[in-house]
Amino acid sequence: MQSLNEIKSILSESHTVDALKSFITTYESDERAGVRKLTDTAGKRIDSIEKELARLKEMRKFENENRQFGLLCGIDEVGRGPLAGPVYAAAVILPEDVDILYINDSKKLSEKKREELYSEIMEKAVAVGIGHVSEKRIDEINILQATYEAMTMAVSELSVKPGALLIDAVHIPQLDAYKQISIIKGDAKSASIAAASIIAKVTRDRVMKQYAEEYPEYGFDSNKGYGSKDHIEAIKKYGPCPIHRRSFIGNFI
């Protein structure tokens, strides 16, 4: 007879609905209280996964409605609001029926979950493009135009050409050659845009952590360049560093 620890190990390795159902079928006749508890846990996990799959089905609504355009690319940006650092954008083409559990607007996810999803998206995506525009360029042309540039760069970095772009709430003039579908709050409604938001967020956060090593007094590893109280106090105390956006921090220096 298998020990409880052996059965726990099998449950820990059961990640899909089919695997969990097989687990229940195998052990539901075992009368040990500990095993019954494990089969109950497996049932709860099935319910959770099925709810998540239903949510993901809804997140593919815009993709399914626009399949006539061919490959669909989600685009999103991160870093429009910070006082320091670049703005980043990502363009992501996902396979038609891919399921990436818990994909969502990056702002709704923990850092750990974003990192996990980043790896899964990079592994499963048909193509990923990343673009960024420096703080100096932001000061030159303003943040909106810099965002468009970053998004355009991200699309240009794709290894395959999409048939249409799904974009969070904006229209990109530089990409008028493409069919553009603007979705308000798209990072919470479209799996492709959500994937792009995660790629852009994780990429920029990693860059800001590197800057934190170079300019430790500003706390970029925690605030990522946004205007936290400690960050603003550091600007007043030390003045701006080379990656501060001069057009954003005029009131603080």
Q: Looking at the chain, which runs of residues are DSSP E strands?
A: 72-78, 87-93, 127-133, 164-168, 179-183
221 is in an annotated binding site: no
Sign of CA dihedral 114, 117, 122, 125: negative
76 labelled ligand-binding: yes
Three-state SS at 145: helix
Separation between Cα atoms, residue 52 and residue 40, nearest integer Å? 19
Pairing mode of beta strands 127-133, 164-168:
unpaired
Tokens encoding 249: 């921090």
Alpha-carbon distance of 58 to 54, in angstroms, equals 7
CB neighbours (10 Å) of residue 37? Answer: 12
Radius of gyration of the chain (CA): 22
Residue 84: strand, helix, or coil: strand
**How far, in Å, CA of 124 to CA of 156, rounded?**
20
> For residues 69 and 105, what is the distance between their CA atoms, to the nearest angstrom?
24
Binding-site residue positions? 76-77, 168
Bind-site residues for a divalent metal cation: 76-77, 168
